[in-house]
Amino acid sequence: MALTGGQVFRDGRFAGATIVIDGDRISAAGPEVEVPDGAERLDCAGRWLIPGFVDAHVHVQFSTPDAILAGGVTCVRDLGSPPSQGLALAAGSSPLRVLAAGRILTPVGGYPTTTWGSDGTGLQVRDAEDAPAAVREQATGGACIIKVALEPASGPVFDEDLLRAVVEAAHAEGLAVTAHVGSAPLLELAIATGVDELAHLPLYDVTAAEMARAAEAGMVLVPTLEIRGADPNALRAVAAFREAGGTVVYGTDLGNGGTAPGIETTELRAMLDAGLSAIEVLHAATAAAADHLGLDDVGRLRPGASADVVVLGADPLEDPAGYDDVRLVMARGRRVLDRL
């Protein structure tokens, strides 16, 4: 199959190019590519072609792979679901590529075990001796990262010894740790114990100085700004994190805060308002997110990459509304939506 005549996002810009797909891979991409004899041609003239989006924070139990794919997202990382959901999908054969954290680790009675995560999403860790087993359970199930809850509004939280035990156990398994953080002291605790990533911009009135410290500690940020609503302070905090050298990758927290499956333009607009350029936003949702997740065949339209292609009806760099105009989605070479 060949996608011809469109503007293709490669090397940080849109330019005329042809993409040839062979099976589940891109076999050729560029302005001088010749279409193989007998290949099906899809005319993409007047269209914009981007890599499938990578959403680094979803909860798959609140949507379906088909709905996520139809909106232009071809790869997700589930950050908390029962074993029958995220890890099961990660091991399956859906055209949606799924990575998963498994269950969210929390102290006895901690968030989210007494609220939305009472379905098995949360796993209660009794003490430091229990931490390696809790981590190993997720790792054995195929987890790509360990998620911890540091949410004081909904129950007990890890003390330093227990959180450090979880982080050390995760690192011993070769896994990073991401955290849901709900207060300033807990952000400092996460930094002190070596947590690697913030699964949200911390869910309180976080300051620019605090986020600069997080960046300086080497944390990666998945801001999930949409779930906060209009919040100028949050935008300033993200800007400060970036100014301090921090890496920001796209994630929506699908399933919470009114988010919907697919590319979320509300999230993208918030990232723009936080100071990212239109190209930086697209990069954060494709190549940068893929790199952060350790996926070298996702997030770029180049030979050898997974054939994850989204065709848009309008230029998304001119107006984020272009991301809502999804005309074609291919995931692992499968045509899952066609409105061309």
Asked whether the whole model's pTM tops 0.95, one would answer: yes
Q: Is the peptide bond before 36 cis (omega within 30 degrees of 0)?
A: no
In order of start, what are the domains of the chain with their CATH numbers?
Answer: 2-50+299-338 (2.30.40.10), 53-292 (3.20.20.140)
Q: Is the pLDDT of residue 83 over 90?
A: no
Residue range 91-112: mean pLDDT, rounded: 96
Residue 222 token pair: 């998945």
Q: CB of 317 within 8 A of CB of 14? A: yes
- The confidence score (pLDDT) of residue 149 equals 98
Measure the CA–CA gap between 117 and 120, rounded to whole angstroms.
Answer: 6
Q: Is the pLDDT of residue 325 over 90?
A: yes
Residue 285 token pair: 């949702």
3-state secondary structure of 278: helix
For 204-243, give the DSSP string. Answer: S---HHHHHHHHHTT-EE---GGGG-S-HHHHHHHHHHHH
How many CB atoms are located within 10 Å of the residue 128 CB? 17
CA 128 to chain centre: 29
pLDDT band per the 50, 70, 90 thresholds, residue 93: confident
For 257-269, give the DSSP string. Answer: TT--SS--HHHHH
Note the pLDDT tens digit of each residue in 185-219: 999 999 999 999 999 999 999 999 999 999 999 99
Note the pLDDT tens digit of each residue in 11-26: 999 999 999 999 999 9
How does the average pLDDT of the chain come out, rounded? 97
How many CB atoms are located within 10 Å of the residue 281 CB? 24
Rg for the chain, CA atoms, rounded = 20
Determine the residue type at 75. Answer: C
Determine the angle formed by the axes of helices 160-172 and 184-193, rounding to 10 degrees.
40
Beta bridge mates, 180: 149
Residue 241 token pair: 């994190």
% of the chain surpassing 70 pLDDT: 100
- The confidence score (pLDDT) of residue 8 equals 98
Measure the CA–CA gap between 295 and 164, rounded to whole angstroms.
Answer: 28
Q: Within a 13 Å sphere around the CA of 222, how many CA atoms are in the beta-carbon half?
A: 31
Measure the CA–CA gap between 188 and 312, rounded to whole angstroms.
Answer: 42
Q: Is the pLDDT of residue 221 over 90?
A: yes
3-state secondary structure of 314: coil
Q: Is the pLDDT of residue 284 over 90?
A: yes
Q: Is the pLDDT of residue 4 over 90?
A: yes
Residue 200, phi-psi category: left (phi > 0), alpha (psi -120 to 50), beta (remainder): beta
Residue with tokens 């997030």: 299
